[in-house]
A and B are shown apart, each in its own frame.
Chain A
Amino acid sequence: MHLNAQEIFEFTVFDRTFVVTESIVVQWLIMVVLTVLVLLLTRNLEKVPSKRQTVIEMIVNLFNGLVVSNLGESYKKNFVPFIGTLGIFIVFMNLTGLIGLPPSTKDINVTLMLALISAVVINGTAIARNGLGGYLHGFVKPYAFMLPMNIIEKFTVPLSLCLRLFINLLVGVIFIELTYMALGYFALIIPVPLHFFFDLFVALIQTYVFIMLTIVFTKTSVEE
């Protein structure tokens, strides 16, 4: 069994070799699918929603509700597009296990990238809301000797976000591959509940956890 990222092809620009891995190609596919879906689904929206439009409005209202109930009305304009994009992208990456492609989020590089984006948004929102002075003052709260702890916290937040998503998906992939290896040609009924649990349930829960933690960490860092 291989755990490293599968290399598809590589190219050289200015004496530097860039390796394109499987997870990147899968992400490109997801981007194409999402773009086509968005273009198809958002054509001729009307005041009285059709069936298709009702489903889209349900999804948008879900993210609206999450942001407004946890952060407040003033974050709605800037945060709903970010949280929605993050959530939909992670859901699509997690669910590719269902159609036989390995989930991109089992690659630690992908989840690290997502966690760093979240960290930039979390700290950027805190700076934008409180000003640079207020943000720096937050480091010495509640006491001055808490400074090292507060600095470490800035690094552990994206690290834990990254590792949580990565390990949960990786364990699912390893578990399902081990099951197929153990069963051999008799893999008929037994892997179905495993796929249901790891590829569907864990994937959806982890997406929810990722976007909820981004919201919660933003809230706490702004309040500090």
Chain B
Amino acid sequence: MDPTGLIALGAGVAALGVVGGGVGIGIIGGKAVEAVARQPEAKGDITSTMIISIAFSEVTSLYALIVSILLIFVL
């Protein structure tokens, strides 16, 4: 049996894990906007903290993406 279709299906399901990272980045961005609106003078600190937090949140969704890419290109 040709497994190509099942591999593509598995890759698609694996890429669903990206959703978590997207939600996390959205929450971080929203909270950062709230913080800047409350204290505009702390904008620089908030921005750099936000980018670090986004990097941590993003990497979890990238792991899901790795699984998906490996399924397509390696199997």
Interface residues of A (CB under 8 A from B): 1, 3, 160, 163-164, 167-168, 170-171, 174, 205, 208-209, 212-213, 216
Known: A3-B73, A160-B59. A167 touches B66 (CB 8 A): yes
Nearest chain B residue, comparing its CB with the CB of A174: B69
> Does B4 touch A at the CB level, under 8 Å?
no
> Does B33 touch A at the CB level, under 8 Å?
no
Other A-B pairs beyond A170-B69, A171-B69, A213-B52, 16, CB < 8 Å: A1-B73, A3-B73, A163-B59, A163-B62, A163-B66, A164-B55, A164-B59, A164-B62, A167-B66, A167-B69, A171-B65, A174-B69, A208-B51, A209-B55, A213-B55, A216-B52
Within 8 A of A (CB), among B36-75: 48, 51-52, 55, 58-59, 62-63, 65-66, 69, 73
Tell me the minimal C-beta distance from B25 to chain A in angstroms. 12
A-B contact pairs, 27 of them (CB 8 A): A1-B73, A3-B69, A3-B73, A160-B59, A163-B59, A163-B62, A163-B66, A164-B55, A164-B58, A164-B59, A164-B62, A167-B62, A167-B65, A167-B69, A168-B62, A170-B69, A171-B65, A171-B69, A174-B69, A205-B51, A208-B51, A209-B51, A209-B52, A212-B51, A212-B52, A212-B55, A213-B52
Interface residues of B (CB under 8 A from A): 48, 51-52, 55, 58-59, 62-63, 65-66, 69, 73
- Pick the most buried of B52, B55, B69: most chain A CB atoms within 10 A of its CB: B55
Task: Label chain B's interface by main secondary structure.
Answer: helix
CA of A168 to CA of B73 in the docked complex: distance in angstroms?
17
List B contacts of A160 (CB < 8 A).
59
Nearest chain A residue, comparing its CB with the CB of B58: A164
List B contacts of A170 (CB < 8 A).
69
CA of A164 to CA of B59 in the docked complex: distance in angstroms?
6
Nearest chain B residue, comparing its CB with the CB of A170: B69
List A contacts of B66 (CB < 8 A).
163, 167
CA of A160 to CA of B59 in the docked complex: distance in angstroms?
7
CA of A213 to CA of B59 in the docked complex: distance in angstroms?
13
List A contacts of B55 (CB < 8 A).
164, 209, 212-213
Check A212–B59 contact: CB distance below 8 A: no
CA of A174 to CA of B48 in the docked complex: distance in angstroms?
28
List A contacts of B73 (CB < 8 A).
1, 3
Tell me the minimal C-beta distance from B31 to chain A in angstroms. 18
Tell me the minimal C-beta distance from B32 to chain A in angstroms. 15
List A contacts of B51 (CB < 8 A).
205, 208-209, 212
Tell me the minimal C-beta distance from B11 to chain A in angstroms. 12
CA of A216 to CA of B53 in the docked complex: distance in angstroms?
12
